[in-house]
């Protein structure tokens, strides 16, 4: 449940931030006539996201046996990559307002027709991007441990509320702290997707597990039990992993730590 909540809340929050920034800027600059264009972008973005879900499900249903394992493993790895880019993008959230407002201002300087089209595309692309990513993430979760629709729905609702409060009402929500906590959980979740992805490739016979299993502690903490199942869904816990899965999990975390240090170092240099 928590993994579904985290994914949908973060994805929906990204889109909510874009929508909130655009609406706030239009109100501040007395361009309320473009609000309908924003709403059209929201509606068509959601419809396009739903369509992408149907298309993904349609193609996914055609795979069986080895092809299905390869497809599931690939989906998990793609999901991990997208999660990683999302996390690092959100670390730059301090600049979101200026970037989006700059785009809106540029479009407003065009002719009325192109202004509407430009603002529509900002909203539409923001929603369809997050929608497609959510489809991939939720399918990756489904392959790994199963989707929880309640958690996913609550994540969407929570993100909409946070976005609304931050940009329209109090503006006292500390997004940085919120992003930091959820980023840590999502990094561990993405590491689990990487390990699960390689596990599927092992099952398909594409790669060797090297040592399989490396250890087995299912008699202590069973991956299919209550606690083990929770850890499996959220952090990719496996009671009897292969050496390759452990290496993949550790290598991903090491890569994230390295990239994070690089980003922090560049920030310090810029501030100095």
pLDDT, position 110: 74
- How far is Cα 74 from Cα 241, in angstroms, rounded to an integer? 19
Residue 250 predicted with pLDDT over 90: yes
CA end-to-end distance (rounded Å), the chain: 43
DSSP 223: T
- How far is Cα 1 from Cα 45, in angstroms, rounded to an integer? 25
Instruction: Say which residues have a Cβ less than 8 Å from residue 103's Cβ, sequence separation at least 6.
Output: 118, 122
Of 25-34, 138-147, 255-264, the range with the lowest mean pLDDT is 138-147
CB 187 within 8 A of CB 87: yes
- How far is Cα 228 from Cα 241, in angstroms, rounded to an integer? 13
Specify burial of residue 207 (Cβ count, 10 A radius: 0-12, 13-18, 19+): middle
Specify burial of residue 44 (Cβ count, 10 A radius: 0-12, 13-18, 19+): middle
Percent of the chain with pLDDT over 90: 16
pLDDT digits (tens, 9 = 90+) for 199-232: 999 999 999 999 999 999 999 988 878 788 777 7
pLDDT, position 180: 72
Q: What are phi and psi of 3, to 5 degrees?
A: -65, -40
Residue of 61 and 82 predicted with greater confidence: 82
How remote is the C-alpha of 243 from its chain's centroid? 28
**What stretch of H or E contains 257?**
helix 243-271
CB 145 within 8 A of CB 3: yes
Residue 272 predicted with pLDDT over 60: no
Q: What are phi and psi of 88, to 5 degrees?
A: -70, -30
Structure tokens at 96: 């979101």
Query: Residue 43: pLDDT band by 50, 70, 90 thresholds?
Result: very high
The conformational region for residue 111 under phi > 0 = left, psi -120 to 50 = alpha, else beta, is: beta
- How far is Cα 231 from Cα 142, in angstroms, rounded to an integer? 15
pLDDT, position 170: 45
Domain boundaries, the chain: 2-271
Residue of 8 and 169 predicted with greater confidence: 8
pLDDT, position 3: 64
Q: What are phi and psi of 63, to 5 degrees?
A: -95, 140
Of 47-61, 127-141, 162-176, the range with the lowest mean pLDDT is 162-176
pLDDT digits (tens, 9 = 90+) for 180-199: 777 787 888 889 889 989 99
> Considering the chain, what is the average pLDDT of its residues?
80
Residue with tokens 């599931």: 72
Long-range contact list for 202-208, CB < 8 A, 24+ apart?
Answer: 202/242, 202/244, 202/245, 203/69, 204/66, 204/69, 204/70, 204/73, 205/66, 206/70, 206/73, 207/244, 208/244
CB 57 within 8 A of CB 142: no
């Amino acid at each position: 449940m928590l993994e579904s909540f985290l994914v949908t809340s973060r994805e929906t929050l990204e889109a909510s931030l874009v929508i909130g920034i655009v609406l706030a800027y239009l109100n501040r600059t007395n361009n309320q006539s473009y609000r309908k264009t924003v709403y059209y972008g929201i509606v068509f973005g959601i419809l396009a996201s739903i369509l992408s879900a149907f298309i993904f499900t349609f193609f996914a249903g055609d795979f069986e046996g080895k092809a299905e394992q390869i497809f599931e493993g690939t989906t998990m790895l793609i999901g991990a990559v997208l999660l990683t880019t999302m996390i690092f993008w959100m670390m730059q959230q301090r600049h979101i307002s200026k970037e989006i407002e700059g785009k809106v201002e540029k479009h407003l300087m065009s002719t009325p027709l192109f202004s509407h089209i430009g603002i529509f595309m900002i909203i539409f692309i923001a929603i369809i991007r997050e929608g497609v990513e959510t489809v991939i993430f939720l399918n990756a979760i489904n392959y790994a441990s199963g989707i929880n629709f309640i958690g996913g729905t609550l994540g969407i609702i929570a993100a909409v509320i946070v976005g609304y409060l931050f940009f329209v009402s109090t503006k006292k929500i500390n997004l940085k702290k919120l992003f930091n906590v959820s980023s840590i959980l999502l990094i561990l979740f993405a590491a689990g997707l990487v390990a699960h992805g390689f596990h599927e490739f092992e099952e398909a016979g594409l790669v060797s597990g090297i040592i399989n299993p490396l250890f087995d502690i299912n008699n202590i903490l069973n991956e299919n039990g209550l606690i083990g199942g929770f850890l499996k869904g959220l952090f990719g816990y496996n009671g009897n992993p292969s050496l390759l899965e452990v290496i993949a999990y550790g290598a991903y975390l090491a890569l994230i730590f390295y990239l994070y240090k690089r980003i922090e170092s560049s920030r310090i240099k810029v501030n100095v």
